[in-house]
Structure 1
Amino acid sequence: MRSAVAGAQRIVVKIGSSSLTRRGGGIATERIDALVDVLAERRKAGAQVVLVSSGAIAAGIAPLGLSKRPRDLATQQASASVGQMLLVARYAASFERYGLTVGQVLLTADDMIRRAHYRNASRNFERLLDLGVVPIVNENDAVATDEIRFGDNDRLAALVAHLLRADALVLLSDVDGLYSGDPRKPESFLVSTVASASDLSEVVAGTTGASGVGTGGMASKVAAAEVATSAGVHVVLTSAARAAEALSGADVGTYFAPTGRRLPTRLLWLRHATTPRGVLLLDSGAVEAVVSRRASLLSAGITGVRGDFVAGDPVDLVSPAGVSVARGLVAYDATELPPILGKSTHDVGPKYRREVVHRDDLALL
């Protein structure tokens, strides 16, 4: 099935800080040129390519005279402000060797959480690709706060692949694939293919990067692959040095097979790009109605409310066992719901006779 990557017409490629920058900070020019050589060849072959690139904070470390990646948010933002300009300028110069224009797209989690922002981002990407531009995407670290951060660019890349309905996602790292454990230990083995969750049963994925300049570890890459494959996207995880082989469909790294089928963009957004603002606790009858019959959620099936949300916010629907079974856009403020919980639509006033969450605004988890 790796041939699907070789034949992909729309590809998202993500590369981490450790693959682009020198230890201690600063851009590794030769590494950027090597990556661009690969992407430009694929672009010239007719495919549309979107690059999600980390490295802004790391690129700003040396120019600011810092000895290591900053830990506090303010200094991270300052480093990103300086580093992002250097990073994109270097990409622009490298792609220009092939007559290709790049465009910078900086996103925060808020751009994925808010429906209007999400649609605007989609339109921007589509127009850039129509114009033959190679979008260079990064989290907007210069303004992102702890509350609205993606946390790592692996998740961002998976969401961009969703947003663009990409055919393939290639995650490039400083490790040549997913190993069962620490790749430096002889007992660890490379996992060549992940077709289902059972293929990960022997895997212990680390949660931190080893370079000191990045934030995403192997666990974040596996999680990103799961998000992308759930919507039919083919995913390959390998090292930056093997990018050309991965894009050609060669048997390198770890291939994650699609586990689901493409859903309407609205449901993809609701399931993977939103952060719940609250929780609705359901009785077993409501769980059955929502999950098995795909019915709307009514007040009669709700036993409790948690969180501070307003009408239109995403909320998780939780079973009596404490499992989140669905996510939906709620039609009421949190303060409006307590008086009508457990009551049928015939027992409440006219203003409360609409669905709490309409089935068209529900995505099963």
Structure 2
Amino acid sequence: MAYVIGAMSGTSMDGVDAVLVDITADQIRPVAAYQQPYPDALLQQLHELCQTGNNELNLCGSVDRAVARVFAQTVNGLLAEQNLTPSDILAIGSHGQTVRHYPDQVPDLADDAPGFTLQIGDPNTLAVLTGIDVVSDFRRKDIALGGQGAPLVPAYHHAQFSKPESTRVVVNIGGFANITVLPGGNSGGIRGFDTGPGNVLMDAWCLQHRGKAYDENGNWAASGNVHQPLLNSMLADPYFAVTGPKSTGREYFNLPWLTQQLINFPDVPPEDVQATLLALTAQTIANALLDVTDTTACYVCGGGAFNQVLMNALQSLLPGISVDSTQALGIHPQWVEGVAFAWLAWAHLNNVPGNVPAVTGASREAVLGTFTPAS
């Protein structure tokens, strides 16, 4: 038995998830999970860091450690719940919290200025507060090799979900959506990329108009009607025409982006905008999937798997494909990304490459992450 904990928080920033995983060369077995929300004040600071502003360096340095403390509280809560001690855990695979992702071009800098990605959550603080070695900073090696640093989950998807005799697609719908095409056999044929917005625009619009962090089950979207001209305008964004490797984030798709889209459609009711945003997520995922594979099976993970209206929309756009959650494969949809970062930590410790160059665009495979000992 070799326990590793995967700890992460996605672009939705709804809290930190820690997943306990039993990993060996022959199996990846999720055991338990624990979640801890960010305190309101810290969440506000994180949102501030996602935009340029005053005193950014001081704020980032302080929030870096504050995020690590929440990660540590989450890991320690998981240990207490499972009656485990730090000595029972090989390592924590910590994704941290992404606050900027500009892998190609940084706004307002010269065209030849190198891009970057930034995940905060100080691994030294996390290691000290938990007494467990930490593997973190998984994205920057891939970017140093010319890649996008994302998506990073396809190598894990291959290890966990690949079926030799058939092609499967795994769709992660968090704040943003990405697909992984698993053709079966070895990892050489894996493809994948960020398709565009997942829940990020729907969540932001719902918060703005209803004061709720998300549209539960897609019920508000279901009360509206898709505004086809607005949807067509959104689908015309150049990002959707670019083939992979590609990745995106809230630096690109955000409320200002949506506001710009709505300039020509000022009278669309809020519930119709929500319905159209849901349609945008479903359509861009379906378009990407149909462009890259002839699979008959699609498995969804992330928060989007619990939006039944979105799942139904995907199924209607993919009539020849069975759309289900990863629960059908034995893994809770909310656990998949946490398990992925546990696996990436295990891969680091065992000198196993964690990226897929065909997905990220990196020049070669690489062992990802930086090791921070607790001692």
Q: TM-score scaled by structure 2?
A: 0.30
Taking CA–CA contacts closer than 8 Å with sequence separation of 6 or more, which of the two structures ends up with the larger relative contact order?
2
Larger radius of gyration: 1
Q: TM-score scaled by structure 1?
A: 0.31
